[in-house]
Structure 1
Amino acid sequence: MSTVWYNTRCPVYDAGIDWQRNKLLALVRAGTVEFKDINQQPDALAHFGASVDDIRRRLHATDAAGRLIVGADVAIALWLITPGEGRLAALFGNRAALPFTRFFYDRFADLLFAWNKRSGRW
């Protein structure tokens, strides 16, 4: 995991990322993981074909090799590197659970995106 892009204007994503960043403080300080606000650099992932609304809707990240990771896969990748959260990655990221994890993450992200839009958070 290299850089996680998220919407700081969404109170749910902002709180979740703040909590995650605090758990990964050593990796953040070492520069291994960065958390960036898409609202400050809306075209940051345009070369992947990701619009600012795509990133406001779902977490996006780039790994150390520069590949794009989206949605539930970002959460799983974060859990894998977060002390004490490997069991979450194993539970929700295994071959049997992953399709359901992605489906439910996407539905939640869609609802959250619509709520933020209605609330005028951008």
Structure 2
Amino acid sequence: MLTVWYNTRCPVCDAGIDRQKRRLIEAVKAGRVEFRDINLEPHALSSHGVSLEDIRRRLHAADAAGNLLIGADVAIAVLLLTPGEGWLASLFGNRLMLPLTRLAYDRFADLLYGWNRRKGRW
């Protein structure tokens, strides 16, 4: 199972996860993926050294083996599970593109985090 923690107080994050939930309804029902609001479980990943602010800044997930995924790696893992979107995971998650994908994700996440902070969405 892939457990994804995200910030429902961020309208962009919430809309993106809602879209994926609709696309992944069968995977959710089958227990292959779960989406959880970090605002309801602020210490969920503290055993991994991850703070509430870390998760508000970037998506975090734990896979079935308990491995922690962060940022673009979470997005790619979700795309791999999403019907019809595996090609996107292959494109953005391949050995050559992954460093650029991570960089782009991190810069976007930083901008989004700053915007949410300025809007008082905490």
Identity level (%): 68
Alpha-carbon distance in 2 for matches of 1:84, 1:62: 23
Q: CA deviation at 1:23?
A: 0.4
Q: CA deviation at 1:30?
A: 1.7
Normalised TM-score (structure 1) = 0.98
Q: CA deviation at 1:100?
A: 0.3
2:96 aligns with 96
Runs of 4+ in 1 over 4 A off after TM superposition: none
2:45 aligns with 45
For structure 1, list consecutive stretches of 5 or more residues without a partner in the other structure. none
TM alignment of 1:1-122, pairs within 5 A: 1-122=1-122
Normalised TM-score (structure 2) = 0.98
Letter in 2 for 1:98: L
Q: How many pairs align? A: 122
Letter in 2 for 1:34: E
SS in 2 for 1:39: coil
For structure 2, list consecutive stretches of 5 or more residues without a partner in the other structure. none
